[in-house]
Amino acid sequence: MKASELRSKDVAALEKEVSDLLRAHFGLRMQKATQQLTNTASLNRTRRDVARAKTILAQKKKGAAK
């Protein structure tokens, strides 16, 4: 997911997005552990998407606090 798409969302939507991405990343890790994952690049992609979403969420919360 692109940062511009994430920036257009509000705080509640970003929190839901982070939880969805974490759940998806967990599922991918379990698939890798059971040798069912064929596209291992998706692990890195979801991990980076989680970090990107958390960063933008923190920026929005900090901006709202000011």
Positive or negative: CA dihedral 16, 51, 56, 53: negative
| 16 in a structural domain | yes
Q: Domain range for residue 48?
A: 3-61
> pLDDT band for position 26 (50/70/90)?
very high
pLDDT tops 90 at residue 5 = yes
Tens-digit pLDDT profile for residues 30-65: 999 999 999 999 999 999 999 999 999 999 999 877
Q: What average pLDDT does the chain have?
A: 94
Query: How many angstroms separate the CA atoms of 54 and 23, rounded?
Result: 14
Nearest Cα to Cα of residue 59 among 19, 3, 20, 17 = 3
| 14 in a structural domain | yes
Count of domains observed in the chain: 1
pLDDT of residue 1: 78
pLDDT of residue 64: 78
Q: How far is CA 4 from CA 7, 15, 44, 52, 64, in A?
A: 5, 16, 20, 11, 18
Q: What is the CATH number of the domain that holds 44?
A: 1.10.287
| 66 in a structural domain | no
